[in-house]
A and B are shown apart, each in its own frame.
Chain A
């Protein structure tokens, strides 16, 4: 079945460090790929998305590139801040199936 596997956490970083969260997927078709973020005490929010191969999604300094050849959608940020502390979820959705399939989530803590 269609699924997403993401890097297990928790991840603890210092401010201004480089962040990478790995995400790979398995899908029978051509999915759209998403990163959602859940800040402490808040609901899930869409962080970025990419709908086809080689697309790059970006938002708030975060980037992820849809790599069909490696079936990956790794999330990166060059210089994290304390406010980036959150749980990050990778997800996919097939064109004809609007359900999102989520990874298990990666907890990121950024220390000052």
Chain B
């Protein structure tokens, strides 16, 4: 597709369940990012993938959060044993790394933990 595609667009899950969120970046974009946007909050960096390099996981809030990127393209963000405070919009973005890089965002996956 032309833009960053995320699925599901909305997910309601019970506390304690695991969830997987998927991101399909723009074709040819080697950099992929996950951000989290909580209600009334700014955007919080979670994780960054660039090509075959080791991902920058410095933003992951706990060991319940993990992400992988297969074949340098599609990425999956997994949240294990979800908690209510995990409720947020999870945004995926991609770019071609360069000076003044423009990062393109998907529309996000709205996660509600009940």
- Contact flag A99-B48 (CB < 8 Å), given A32-B100, A46-B102, A89-B43: yes
The reply to whether B95 and A43 contact each other, CB–CB distance below 8 Å, is no
Interface residue tally for chain A (C-beta within 8 Å): 20
Contact string, B3-36, partner A, CB cutoff 8 A, digits 1/0?
0100000000000000000000000000101010
The reply to whether A89 and B42 contact each other, CB–CB distance below 8 Å, is yes
Asked if A93 is at the interface of the complex by the 8 Å CB criterion, the answer is: yes
Q: Which residues of A contact B101 (CB under 8 A)?
A: 32, 93, 98
Q: Which residues of A contact B97 (CB under 8 A)?
A: 98
The reply to whether A99 and B104 contact each other, CB–CB distance below 8 Å, is no
The reply to whether B91 and A99 contact each other, CB–CB distance below 8 Å, is no
Interface residues of B (CB under 8 A from A): 4, 31, 33, 35, 41-43, 45, 48, 50, 56, 91, 93, 95, 97, 99-108
Interface residues of A (CB under 8 A from B): 32, 36, 42-46, 49, 51, 89, 93, 95, 98-105
21 A-B pairs whose Cβ atoms sit less than 8 Å apart in the complex: A32-B99, A32-B100, A42-B107, A43-B4, A44-B43, A46-B102, A46-B103, A49-B100, A51-B99, A89-B42, A89-B43, A93-B100, A93-B103, A99-B33, A99-B45, A100-B103, A102-B35, A102-B42, A102-B43, A103-B42, A105-B42
